[in-house]
Amino acid sequence: LYSDISPLLKDPAAFRTLIDLLEDHLRASFPKIDFIAGLDSRGFLIGPPVAQRLGIGFVLIRKKGKLPGPTESVSYALEYGKAELEIQSDAVEPGQKVVIVDDSGATGGTMCAACELLKRLEAEVLECLVVIELKPLKGSEKLKSVPFYSLLQYD
């Protein structure tokens, strides 16, 4: 089952409400965040407006081969095969506080890989945040000690 956020993106009032809700959650949960990290590709649609509202920067976590310059890379398993994610080596500094954002959380493989990349850069992952969580796939359980937040959950 694929959860499509396209209708949300087409409706400016609904999208504004989404960004409001995410901003409110992050402001209430964390006194200091240095960056929002967005996952390729729908995290790129949600993360920048949230980061802009919070007055912080946004960093990209992309599929392998899409980023310029030196990168850190990690391989991970998908429901249907394998993939690799990358982050630029200078995207964050050690100790900086980061929230990872994506549109949906399913099996947790991509989110775990993103956490691993940020760990290699010695950043502190405050939370993994998604709009939609597919609970039966138990992806949030794979994150272990990293807090996970979802606006909508489907059983």
Residues classed as catalytic: 42, 79
Distance CA 26, CA 153 (A): 18
- Quickly count: other Cβ atoms within 10 Å of residue 137's Cβ: 18
CB 36 within 8 A of CB 19: no
State how far Cα 42 lies from the chain centre.
9
Q: Please give the order of strands across the beta sheet that includes 124-134.
A: 71-78, 81-88, 57-63, 35-39, 97-105, 124-134, 148-154
